């Protein structure tokens, strides 16, 4: 069932005198309707005016509800806060990207106190401190900023102005002079002309000579003293390594000598100088001469031969080794048997002329020899009273050499006059080289007769050798000889010849070594090594005689290539479409038809590398250790590979680099509390209570802007 | 003849005094030191293995509480002192170097809900289930004195958490609303509410000290500004957040420990997307604390383990557990960033090393150099599969392990379903939501 709802109608609404309704009329009640009846009365004009005024004004907006207001507040506050927080962005970013962070972040700053404060607060307590303090006070030393002590100041004051000026002028003059001399010396030093220097040296030498002559005439004793001085200088020279061709210059020249005639000459020149400087001067006294006569016999023998005999005793193992090569033959042989090898060598020496390195070798041998001599005589020299002198510079030595030449001349004259007195018929060389020391000679005495014998025979031989040699032009050697004996005069040609023979013989003896095979290599030592190397190679060859590595490799490579080639697939079924059975093969046509050829793969990587086999298969065992996917921060595999390939260990890096590479990202100090970062630490002002007092608390004062913003936000 | 022999100048290897450094000649010619990559790789591998061998993080267990440990607090000035509140209302102060309890206070009836120390380290505050806030002196009472709080504030409602301002004599409590108290007054200077759910924790920002964060049981995290007495913003997540912790080095970053097993690191200026979602736990995360260096944080979970996460990684680098450790309720990283403390249900406080294989004590310079080098090597080769496998390998209790497997399956299923839905629907009709956005329900202004 349905019933109709009864409609309620309230009549009272229409009749009420207290309220006005528009109900029933169907119209909206407007203000003017109400004002209509008032028109007539004038007393209501004021009210009317007021009402009109009100009408013209806009209505006040409804206040926002509490929720919305709060929301706006929150939003404003949030924006402000996040703005304030974004000041931390740079610091956070910096800390995140920092190579190293050291905690605690805030470091205690060491307080700096000026030194005066420290000093004023300090007092001497211990007795030592007090003592030091007293001393300082006594001398009135400044405590703090010592520019000038009071004493110094006083002394400064004491010197008068005049004096100071004079002194200053003097000093200036001296300085100027010094600089002038220095400049001059520098200039002269810079002159490259050899001729100039030669002339200069010669001039000096001549002057010295002249002085000496004068001195001899005026004061013979002084001249003798001078001579003694020269002798001493000679000793010094012998002790020193000068002119021994052992210096840097000489070594470089030795290398050059192979190609450069000039260098060779220069070396020989120096050798000659050395010889000259170390030659003993003969003092004019008969008694000494006789002694020399005894010595001469020994000295006539070529040094090399002497050395052999020394070696027999073997006092010096180095020496033994040194000359073992050169004199092996001579050592074992009797004096009677000697001639043969020597003769042989002499003939060989002719061949030697053609070799480029031969001369050089002889040169070097000479050096060696000289050195050995020096070593031997070292003992002797120790016995001699040697007054240690300062080593003289080259120019003074130049002078000395000149003087020595003069002295030798003098001696020669004497010798020629006294020749008849001498028992031996042989000519006496004016200059004799330093013989073996006496101390060493004594044990050799037993061998003397033999030696003498040898000498004579050797001389004979030498003569022959010499004649042979003289036939061949030897410019270098010739020059050497003349250089070596600059004092020999045309007046004594025979002597010169003998000398030459001796030297030649010596050369032959020393150069004759089994290792003179590869001529390009200058020293015998290296040749020795070379030989060893060859032996080694030979041995290796013998040891691995059966191995043919190269062929094996080629075979291996061929196999690898074969294995990597894609195989054809043969799908022929015997017996299909034709007879099958034992001894029957499918026809060629059929086979061709069912053979599936695999396409040719890409060319091998080692195709053009004959010495390499590149395995292109993936190695499973290696792959287990390899990174398969490019890790996150890297954008390209090369980047990643580069980081892996740069080693960081101290094996590959210097200590400093290693330390730098291994700095830990975060460093903390044990036992130190790490406080949260503070704004003051990073130079910001810390936010305070008053920072954000801007937000209004009164919702009625909320600006329209905020409301709009709010609406916009709510739409979003 | 040239004689070859070894001859050395003593100047090159003999030092003048024993204080001089030994001179060790080195030739850095790379041809003399070949195979640098393989050699370093092997070294890295060995370093990684050794790290695992020496990984013994557990240091000590502090026992004495007679109920589950509910809250922990660090002493701001002393590294050795730590405070703990238990579920039976007992507060204990521990000395870590001696590993002993030095003081015991029966502070509340019922739970000690929260504990915090004053920034100066002279006193500490506790809140409990008995609706009181109590301030205690850090030093014990003198002879003959009663163990009494300095102040007691009786509130109308239960307070569930407390935190002290980092610079001023102000502290904040939470419960029905966030109250900010002056230490001298017995009524809060301001109360802030937004919604009507109980707030479980409140934390002051350690850098911008007027900022607060709180998390409530209606799944939201609310930020406040103390100066304006107004909340700033609210973010609603999928599930309830248990606690938050501010990064002590980055003013606008905080991490929230959520019931949905994850932790969320937020930039407070952009709350709609977390900066990072950290997931590895297999049960609700109950507490989180930042390392003072701000590079890592530690989280305590209901799954009976604690995990250490790098701030910028979504996976944990370390998990600590012991057989006896039950649900971990609170965790703290010590102020020297070397140790971690955790308090758990079974009444113990445990002390761990923050770096499991770190050698404690003073290192010689060579040890230090070797340590740094090994660390760099591990970093350099961390992407290599063998090294990665060894470095990541952890032994887990069966419960956690099986749950991880289970959750992996669930996650995979969800992912598969999503992919399928995407595949079988009209392009554009199904929106792809990133993992980060997935968990944020709304941001309320």
Q: Kindly report, residue by residue over B92-127, the tens digit of the pLDDT.
A: 999 999 999 999 999 999 999 999 999 999 999 999
Instruction: Give tens-digit pLDDT for B154-169.
Output: 998 999 999 999 999 9
Mean of per-residue pLDDT scores for chain B:
92
A372 touches chain B (CB under 8 A): no
The gap from C-alpha B399 to its chain's centroid, in whole angstroms, comes to: 23
How many angstroms separate the CA atoms of B211 and B230, rounded? 10
Residue B394 has a pLDDT of 93
Q: How far is A15 from chain B (nearest CA, A)?
A: 51
Residue A27 has a pLDDT of 65
| A611 vs A279 pLDDT, higher one | A611
Helices (H) and strands (E) in chain A, counts: 31, 4
Mean of per-residue pLDDT scores for chain A:
68
Contacts of B383 in chain A (CB under 8 A): 627, 631, 640
Residue A177 lies in a domain: no
Q: Pick A643's closest partner by Cβ from B1, B380, B384.
A: B380
Of residues B277, B229, B228, B281, the one with CA closest to residue B256: B277
Q: How many CB pairs under 8 A join A and B?
A: 173
B443 touches chain A (CB under 8 A): no
Residue B438 lies in a domain: no
User: A214: how many CB neighbours lie within 10 A of its CB?
Assistant: 11
Domain count, chain B: 1
B210 touches chain A (CB under 8 A): yes
From A13-27, A610-624, B361-375, the region with the lowest mean pLDDT: A13-27
Q: Name the 3-class secondary structure at A714.
A: helix
Residue A570 lies in a domain: yes
Residue A460 has a pLDDT of 53
From A172-181, A295-304, B167-176, the region with the lowest mean pLDDT: A295-304
Residue B301 lies in a domain: yes
Q: How confident is the model at residue A681 (pLDDT cuts 50, 70, 90)?
A: confident
Query: Angle at CA A484, nearest 5°, toward A482 and A488?
Result: 60
Residue A585 lies in a domain: yes
- HSE of B2, CA atoms in CB hemisphere, 13 A: 9
For an interface test with B, the pick among A81, A625, A661 (most B C-beta atoms closer than 10 Å) comes out as: A81
Q: How far is B15 from chain A (nearest CA, A)?
A: 19
- Verify whether the Cβ–Cβ distance A77 to B228 is below 8 Å: yes
From A231-240, A517-526, A601-610, B98-107, the region with the lowest mean pLDDT: A517-526
Domain count, chain A: 1
Average pLDDT over residues B350-361: 93
From A158-167, A560-569, B152-161, the region with the lowest mean pLDDT: A158-167
- Verify whether the Cβ–Cβ distance B207 to A661 is below 8 Å: no
DSSP line for A157-185: HHS-HHHHHHHHHHHHHHHHHHHHHHHHH
Instruction: Give tens-digit pLDDT for B252-265.
Output: 999 999 999 999 99
How many angstroms separate the CA atoms of B338 and A469, rounded? 94
Residue A572 lies in a domain: yes
Instruction: Give tens-digit pLDDT for B195-241.
Output: 878 999 999 999 999 999 999 999 999 999 988 888 999 999 999 99
Contacts of B251 in chain A (CB under 8 A): 85, 88, 92, 677
Residue B53 has a pLDDT of 95
Average pLDDT over residues A275-300: 51
Residue B439 lies in a domain: no
Counting residues of chain A whose pLDDT is more than 90, the rounded percentage is 13
Q: Name the 3-class secondary structure at B95.
A: strand
Instruction: Give tens-digit pLDDT for A504-558.
Output: 444 444 444 444 344 444 444 556 678 888 898 888 888 887 778 888 999 999 9
Answer yes or no: is pLDDT of A261 > 60: yes
For an interface test with B, the pick among A67, A643, A677 (most B C-beta atoms closer than 10 Å) comes out as: A677
Residue A506 lies in a domain: no
CA distances (Å), origin A44, targets A18, A34, A39, A361, B114: 20, 13, 8, 149, 73
DSSP line for B142-164: -TT-----SEEEE-SS---EEEE
Answer yes or no: is pLDDT of A302 > 70: no
CATH assignment of the domain containing B95: 2.130.10.10
From A24-28, B273-277, B427-431, the region with the lowest mean pLDDT: A24-28
How many angstroms separate the CA atoms of B252 and A244, rounded? 84
Q: Name the 3-class secondary structure at A242.
A: coil
- Verify whether the Cβ–Cβ distance B384 to A625 is below 8 Å: yes
User: A684: how many CB neighbours lie within 10 A of its CB?
Assistant: 12
Report the chain B residue with the minimal C-alpha distance to residue A98.
Answer: B295
How many angstroms separate the CA atoms of B216 and B258, rounded? 11
Residue A594 lies in a domain: yes
Counting residues of chain B whose pLDDT is more than 70, the rounded percentage is 100
Residue A578 lies in a domain: yes
Task: Note the ipTM here.
Answer: 0.91
Q: How confident is the model at residue B12 (pLDDT cuts 50, 70, 90)?
A: confident
Residue A466 has a pLDDT of 44
Q: How far is A636 from chain B (nearest CA, A)?
A: 15
Residues 617-636 of chain A whose Cβ lies under 8 A from any Cβ of chain B: 624-628, 631
Residue A142 has a pLDDT of 61
Residues A281-302 as b or e (16 or more Cβ within 10 Å = b): bbeeeeeebeebeeebbbbbbb
Residue B330 lies in a domain: yes
How many angstroms separate the CA atoms of A352 and A346, rounded? 10
Tokens of A347: 């003939």
Task: Determine the structural domain holding residue A579 and report its residue range.
Answer: 566-618
Q: Pick A77's closest partner by Cβ from B232, B253, B381.
A: B232
Q: How confident is the model at residue A420 (pLDDT cuts 50, 70, 90)?
A: very low
Q: How confident is the model at residue A59 (pLDDT cuts 50, 70, 90)?
A: confident
Among the residues of A101-245, which ranges form H helices? 115-121, 127-138, 150-158, 161-190, 194-218, 220-239
Contacts of B208 in chain A (CB under 8 A): 81, 84-85, 687
Residue B338 has a pLDDT of 93
Q: How far is B416 from chain A (nearest CA, A)?
A: 23
Residue B254 lies in a domain: yes
How many angstroms separate the CA atoms of A441 and A444, rounded? 5
Residue B118 has a pLDDT of 94
Contacts of A74 in chain B (CB under 8 A): 230-233, 445
Residue B109 has a pLDDT of 93
How many angstroms separate the CA atoms of A101 and B311, rounded? 15
Q: How far is B287 from chain A (nearest CA, A)?
A: 20
For an interface test with A, the pick among B80, B337, B379 (most A C-beta atoms closer than 10 Å) comes out as: B337
- Verify whether the Cβ–Cβ distance B231 to A652 is below 8 Å: no
| A454 vs A665 pLDDT, higher one | A665
Residues 61-100 of chain B whose Cβ lies under 8 A from any Cβ of chain A: 76-77, 79
Instruction: Give tens-digit pLDDT for B55-101.
Output: 999 999 999 999 999 999 999 999 999 999 999 999 999 999 999 99
Residues 126-165 of chain B whose Cβ lies under 8 A from any Cβ of chain A: none
Q: How far is A268 from chain B (nearest CA, A)?
A: 21
Residue A487 has a pLDDT of 45
Instruction: Give tens-digit pLDDT for A334-381.
Output: 444 444 444 444 444 444 444 444 555 555 566 556 666 655 554 444
- Verify whether the Cβ–Cβ distance B269 to A523 is below 8 Å: no
Which residues are paired to B204 by β-bridges? Answer: B212
User: A659: how many CB neighbours lie within 10 A of its CB?
Assistant: 14
Among the residues of B241-306, which ranges form H helices? none
Average pLDDT over residues A384-399: 47
Average pLDDT over residues A84-105: 91
Q: Pick A77's closest partner by Cβ from B225, B335, B384.
A: B225
Q: Contact at 8 Å (CB) between B221 and B232?
A: no
Average pLDDT over residues B179-198: 89
Residues 523-542 of chain A whose Cβ lies under 8 A from any Cβ of chain B: 523-526, 528
Residue A162 has a pLDDT of 83
Residue A342 has a pLDDT of 41
Q: Pick A692's closest partner by Cβ from B1, B227, B231.
A: B227
B232 touches chain A (CB under 8 A): yes
Q: Contact at 8 Å (CB) between B263 and B309?
A: yes
B245 touches chain A (CB under 8 A): no
Q: Pick B28's closest partner by Cβ from A624, A654, A695.
A: A654
Counting residues of chain A whose pLDDT is more than 70, the rounded percentage is 52
Residue B116 has a pLDDT of 95
Q: Name the 3-class secondary structure at A590.
A: helix
Q: Pick B292's closest partner by Cβ from A88, A624, A674.
A: A674
- Verify whether the Cβ–Cβ distance B230 to A70 is below 8 Å: yes
B431 touches chain A (CB under 8 A): no
From A188-197, A371-380, A580-589, B142-151, the region with the lowest mean pLDDT: A371-380
Residues 644-683 of chain A whose Cβ lies under 8 A from any Cβ of chain B: 644-645, 647-654, 658-659, 661-664, 666, 668-679
Task: Determine the structural domain holding residue B266 and report its residue range.
Answer: 58-353
Supply the pTM of this predicted model: 0.57
Q: Residue A249 — φ and ψ, nearest 5°?
A: -60, -45
Average pLDDT over residues A625-633: 90
CA distances (Å), origin B149, targets B29, B123, B127, B173: 72, 10, 12, 17
From A163-167, A281-285, A480-484, A629-633, the region with the lowest mean pLDDT: A480-484
- Verify whether the Cβ–Cβ distance A672 to B369 is below 8 Å: no
Residue A396 has a pLDDT of 52
B29 touches chain A (CB under 8 A): no
Residue B406 lies in a domain: no
Residue A329 lies in a domain: no
Tokens of A175: 């300085």
For an interface test with B, the pick among A66, A76, A77 (most B C-beta atoms closer than 10 Å) comes out as: A77
């Amino acid at each position: 069932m349905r019933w109709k709802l009864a409609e309620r109608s309230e009549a009272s609404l229409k009749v009420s005198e207290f309220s006005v309704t528009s109900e029933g009329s169907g119209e909206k009640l407007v203000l003017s309707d109400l004002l209509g009846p008032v028109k007539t009365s004038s007393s209501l004009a004021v009210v009317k005016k007021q009402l009109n005024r009100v009408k013209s004004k806009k209505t006040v907006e409804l206040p926002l509800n509490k929720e919305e207001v709060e929301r706006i507040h929150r939003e404003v506050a949030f924006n402000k806060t996040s703005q304030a927080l974004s000041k931390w962005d740079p610091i956070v970013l910096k800390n995140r990207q920092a190579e190293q962070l050291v905690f605690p972040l805030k470091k205690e700053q060491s307080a700096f106190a000026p030194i005066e404060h420290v000093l004023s607060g300090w007092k001497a307590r211990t007795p030592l401190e007090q003592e030091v303090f007293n001393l300082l006070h006594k001398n009135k030393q400044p405590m703090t900023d010592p520019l000038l002590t009071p004493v110094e100041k006083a002394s400064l004051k004491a010197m008068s102005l005049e004096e100071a000026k004079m002194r200053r002028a003097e000093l200036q003059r001296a300085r100027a002079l010094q600089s002038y001399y220095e400049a001059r010396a520098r200039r002269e030093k810079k002159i490259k002309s050899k001729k100039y220097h030669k002339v200069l040296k010669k001039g000096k030498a001549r002057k010295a000579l002249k002085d000496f002559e004068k001195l001899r005439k005026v004061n013979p004793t002084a001249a003798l003293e001078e001579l003694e001085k020269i002798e001493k200088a000679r000793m010094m020279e012998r002790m020193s390594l000068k002119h021994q061709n052992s210096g840097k210059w000489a070594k470089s020249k030795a290398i050059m000598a192979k190609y450069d005639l000039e260098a060779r000459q220069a070396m020989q020149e120096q050798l000659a100088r050395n010889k000259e400087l170390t030659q003993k001067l003969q003092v004019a006294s008969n008694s000494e001469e006789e002694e020399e006569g005894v010595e001469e016999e020994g000295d006539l023998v070529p040094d090399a031969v002497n050395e052999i005999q020394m070696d027999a005793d073997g006092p010096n193992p180095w020496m033994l080794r040194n000359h073992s090569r050169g004199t092996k033959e001579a050592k074992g042989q009797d004096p009677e048997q000697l001639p043969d090898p020597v003769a042989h060598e002499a003939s060989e020496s002719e061949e030697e002329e053609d070799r480029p390195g031969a001369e050089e070798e002889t040169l070097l041998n000479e050096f060696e020899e000289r050195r050995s001599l020096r070593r031997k005589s070292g003992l002797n020299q120790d016995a001699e009273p040697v007054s240690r002198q300062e080593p003289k510079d080259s120019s003074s030595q130049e002078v000395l050499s000149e003087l020595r030449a003069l002295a030798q001349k003098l001696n020669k004259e004497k010798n020629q006059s006294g020749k008849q007195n001498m028992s031996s018929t042989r000519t006496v060389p004016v200059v004799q080289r330093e013989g073996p020391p006496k101390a060493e000679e004594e044990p050799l005495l037993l061998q003397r007769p033999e030696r003498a014998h040898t000498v004579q025979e050797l001389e004979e031989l030498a003569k022959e050798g010499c004649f042979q040699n003289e036939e061949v032009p030897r410019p270098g050697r010739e020059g050497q000889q003349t250089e070596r004996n600059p004092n020999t005069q045309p007046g004594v040609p025979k002597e010169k010849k003998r000398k030459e023979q001796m030297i030649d013989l010596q050369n032959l003896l020393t150069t004759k070594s089994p290792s003179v095979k590869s001529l390009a290599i200058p020293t015998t030592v290296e040749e020795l090594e070379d030989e060893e190397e060859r032996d080694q190679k030979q041995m290796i060859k013998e040891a691995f005689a059966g191995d043919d590595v190269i062929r094996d490799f080629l075979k291996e490579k061929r196999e690898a290539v074969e294995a990597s080639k894609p195989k054809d697939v043969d799908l022929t079924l015997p017996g299909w479409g034709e007879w099958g059975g034992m001894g029957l093969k499918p026809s060629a046509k059929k086979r061709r038809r069912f053979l599936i050829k695999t396409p040719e793969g890409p060319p091998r990587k080692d195709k053009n590398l004959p010495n390499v086999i590149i395995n292109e298969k993936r190695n499973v065992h290696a792959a287990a250790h390899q990174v398969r996917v490019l890790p996150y921060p890297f954008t390209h595999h090369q980047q990643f590979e580069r980081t892996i390939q740069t080693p960081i260990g101290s094996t590959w890096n210097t200590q400093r680099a290693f330390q730098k590479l291994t700095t830990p990202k975060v460093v903390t100090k044990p036992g130190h509390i790490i406080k949260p970062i503070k704004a003051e630490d990073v130079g910001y002002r810390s936010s305070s209570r008053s920072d954000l007092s801007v937000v209004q608390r009164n919702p009625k004062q909320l600006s329209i802007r905020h409301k709009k913003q709010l609406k916009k936000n709510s739409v979003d | 003849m040239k004689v070859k022999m070894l001859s050395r100048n003593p100047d090159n290897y003999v030092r003048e005094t024993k204080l001089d450094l030994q001179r060790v000649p080195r030739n850095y010619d790379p041809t003399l030191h070949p195979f640098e990559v393989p050699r370093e790789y092997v070294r890295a591998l060995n370093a990684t293995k050794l790290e695992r061998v020496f990984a013994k993080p557990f240091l000590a267990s502090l026992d004495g509480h007679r109920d589950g440990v509910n809250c922990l607090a660090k002493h701001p000035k002393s590294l050795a002192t730590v405070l703990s509140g238990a579920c039976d209302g007992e507060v204990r102060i521990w000395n870590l170097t001696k590993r002993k309890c030095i003081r015991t206070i029966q502070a509340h009836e019922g739970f000690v809900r929260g504990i915090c120390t004053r920034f100066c380290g002279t006193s500490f505050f506790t809140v409990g289930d008995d609706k009181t806030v109590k301030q205690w002196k850090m030093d014990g009472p003198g002879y003959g004195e009663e163990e009494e709080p300095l102040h007691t504030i009786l509130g109308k409602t239960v307070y569930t958490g407390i935190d002290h301002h980092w610079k001023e004599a102000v502290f904040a409590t939470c419960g029905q609303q966030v109250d900010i108290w002056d230490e001298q007054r017995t009524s809060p200077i301001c109360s802030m509410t937004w919604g009507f759910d109980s707030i479980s924790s409140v934390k002051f920002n350690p850098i911008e000290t007027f900022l607060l964060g709180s998390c409530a049981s209606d799944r939201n995290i609310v930020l406040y500004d103390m100066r304006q007495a107004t909340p700033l913003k609210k973010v609603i997540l999928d599930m309830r957040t248990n606690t938050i912790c501010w990064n002590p080095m980055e003013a606008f970053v905080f991490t929230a420990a959520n019931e949905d097993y994850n932790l969320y690191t937020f930039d407070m200026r952009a709350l709609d997307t977390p900066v990072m979602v950290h997931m590895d736990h297999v049960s609700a995360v109950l507490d989180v604390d930042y390392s003072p260096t701000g590079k890592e944080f530690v989280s305590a979970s209901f799954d009976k383990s604690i995990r250490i996460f790098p701030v910028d990684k979504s996976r944990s680098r370390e998990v600590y557990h012991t057989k006896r450790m039950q649900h971990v309720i609170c965790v703290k990283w010590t102020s020297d960033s070397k140790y971690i403390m955790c308090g758990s249900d079974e009444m113990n406080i445990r002390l761990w090393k923050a770096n499991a294989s770190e050698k404690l004590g003073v290192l010689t310079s060579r040890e230090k150099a070797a340590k740094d080098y090994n660390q760099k090597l591990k970093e350099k080769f961390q992407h290599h599969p063998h090294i990665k496998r060894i470095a990541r390998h952890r032994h887990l209790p069966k419960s956690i392990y099986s749950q991880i497997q289970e959750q992996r399956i669930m996650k995979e299923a969800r992912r598969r379903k999503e992919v399928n839905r995407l595949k079988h629907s009209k392009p554009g009709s199904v929106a792809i939501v990133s993992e980060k956005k997935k968990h944020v329900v709304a941001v309320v202004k």
